[in-house]
Amino acid sequence: MGLILKILLYLYLCAGVQCVHQMSWLPCQFIDESVFVNAENLPETKLIHREAMLQFGQKGDAPLNPRGITFLVTGGSKLDLRRYVDGVEAEQLECEVRRYSTEGIHVRWPVQGAHEYNRWFTCTVKHSKGLFTATGFLRHPSDQPPPGQQDFRRWPAIQDGEILTTTVAMVIKTQSPSVTAGLSSQQKLHCQFALDHKGPNVTVEWHFQYRGERNKLFSHNSRSGQTEGSGVGMKSLAAGDASYILPFAKMSSEGMYICSVAVNPLFINLDINLHIQETPRVSLNIGPTLVLQEGGEQKVICEAENYYPLDVEIVWYEQDPAVSGQRVGAPLPRPLQNVLLSSHKHNSDKTYSVSAFFYLQARLRDSGRQFTCSVSHRSLRVPIKKSFILAVEEPGSWVFNLTVGVIVVTLLAFLFVMVFYLYSEKRKSVQKKPY
């Protein structure tokens, strides 16, 4: 019975929402290129945005959009691009197709029935909210050899309405195009790939780039077995998982990580941006209740410590606690205007600290007011808030309390002296008796 319910639920969902594996087409932009020599006798590339469609089907299928360029992706490859965007509606996807230059390298693609020559295209599908990026190489068989190393100067023309029958030769995907990490955390930078044939000569590399400087982190060639660096599991790599493990995030870890996969004549990079974020620690220099005598003054400090990146906002508010719990008609907290900010402190771990302070003048009418420090930072979903209540006492109450205290202490001292005196007299009288 439970199995039947699951089947019915699946059929219902697929009827209401187009399932990714049932997706028959996807609108794309074809970014065509026109290379020419400019006035300075230098090659210049003009990008031309053209209407196109990624259509899934079989060879000979009619185009769904006769006016645009159709890239017909057939089932001749074991790779299905739709599998790499599973669980996502078509409206959430962004598709882009570009030509790919082999730079004069000619290699017969080692799959059964492959033609001697191929024209190559890259198809990149991204999630509109940046959840993943997947790029597939589309292989279009051709009877014409490539024009040479600078084949991009003599691209074969593609007409509007033309159908290019292709198969997917290689796919590379990351589920982490942008990663946010805290200091000392371990991060997995996802990168997976797949090819349409077994036993390829694959080279997988990871590089780290920051401010123009590029360093190699890992390299492995499947044919020679040579490996340099670390961070990628060899067992998972054999299954197409080239994810890189960053064991200990430091401030110097922030930058761009590049996963590259090369299978001659194809080469592709995936860029993964790692951002360091550290949540501020917020504290006040006073307790939850501040008691002041009327007319007194207190410097109140709200400090935000050890945060990164630099941008932070600190706002002081005041509010009557009697109305703070009201949902309807309660006045909004009023921002304080006499707040001063200290200069940013650069800590040894490259995080920052700053404080916002003001001088509080104690007035009886302000007794019971609540003061709140609100700290906002990009690492926080909601601001961190720290509050205290101001209690103001009249000067007379201090005098009265002091007077009562002095009287009590005096009486206790007098009582102690009297008891000691009586005890001493009693001992003397006992010593004078002969019996």
Which residue in 183, 109, 101 sits closest to 148, CA to CA?
A: 101
Q: Indicate whether 119 pLDDT > 70.
A: yes
Domain that holds residue 201: 179-276
248 and 304 in a single domain? The answer is no
**Residue 321: predicted pLDDT:** 67
Residue 144 forms part of a structural domain:
yes
Provide mean pLDDT across the span 372-386.
Answer: 96
Is 46 in the same domain as 122?
Answer: yes
Residue with tokens 């036993």: 199
Q: Kindly report the average pLDDT of the chain as a whole number.
A: 86
Tokens of 215: 């360093």
pLDDT tier, 103 (very low <50, low <70, confident <90, very high otherwise): confident
Instruction: Tell whether the model's pLDDT for residue 218 goes beyond 60.
Output: yes
CATH of residue 270's domain is: 2.60.40.10
User: Does the residue 414 lie in any domain?
Assistant: no
The CA–CA distances, whole Å, from 3 to 9, 10, 53, 276, 401 equal 10, 11, 38, 46, 79
Cα–Cα distance, 156 to 141 (Å, whole number): 13
Q: Which of 69, 71, 68 is nearest to 81 (CA)?
A: 71
Residue pLDDT, tens place only, 25-44: 999 999 999 888 888 888 88
Domain boundary among 247, 276, 305: 276
User: What span, in angstroms and rounded, lies between the C-alpha atoms of 348 and 43?
Assistant: 49
Looking at the structure, do residues 378 and 319 belong to the same domain, yes or no?
yes
Assess whether 32 and 166 both reside in one domain: yes
Indicate if 29 and 136 belong to the same structural domain: yes
**Quick check: 220 pLDDT over 90?**
yes
332 has pLDDT over 50 = yes
Nearest Cα to 142, choosing from 92, 177, 108? Answer: 108
Going by pLDDT thresholds of 50, 70 and 90, the confidence category of residue 198 is: confident
**What integer is the mean pLDDT of 115-143?**
92
If asked whether residues 42 and 156 sit together in one domain, one would say yes
Q: Which residues pair with 313 in a beta bridge?
A: 376
- Structural domain ending residue among the three candidates 128, 144, 174: 174
Distances (CA, A) of 212 to 184, 229, 255, 267: 25, 21, 10, 21
407 domain residue, yes or no: no
One domain for residues 267 and 289: no
pLDDT value, residue 328 = 57
Residue 231 resides in a domain: yes
Question: What integer pLDDT is reported at residue 13 of this predicted model?
Answer: 33
Are 242 and 324 in a shared domain?
A: no
Q: What is the pLDDT of residues 44-91, one digit of tens each?
A: 889 999 999 999 999 999 999 999 999 999 986 778 888 888 788 888
Q: Which residue has the tokens 């499947």?
A: 222
Looking at residue 3, what is its pLDDT?
A: 42
How many domains does the structure of the chain reveal?
3
Judged by average pLDDT, the poorest of 1-15, 223-237, 404-418 is 1-15
Global pTM reads: 0.78
Whether residue 40 is found in the same domain as residue 136: yes
Is 170 found in the same domain as 183?
no
Is residue 153 pLDDT above 80, yes or no? no
Contact between 319 and 325 (Cβ < 8 Å): no
Model confidence band, residue 125 (pLDDT cutoffs 50, 70, 90)? very high
Which pLDDT score, from 0 to 100, does residue 76 have?
A: 66
**261-292 pLDDT, tens per residue?**
999 999 999 999 999 999 999 999 999 999 99
The one-letter amino acid at 359: Y
* Among the listed residues 151, 270, 139, the one whose alpha carbon sits nearest the alpha carbon of residue 204: 270
Distance between CA atoms of residues 128 and 351, nearest Å: 32
* Per-residue pLDDT at 43: 83
Domain assignment of residue 243, yes or no:
yes
pLDDT above 90 coverage of the chain, percent: 63
Domain boundary among 251, 276, 301: 276
**21 belongs to a structural domain:** yes
Same-domain status, 294 and 378: yes
- Tell whether 120 and 168 lie within a shared domain: yes
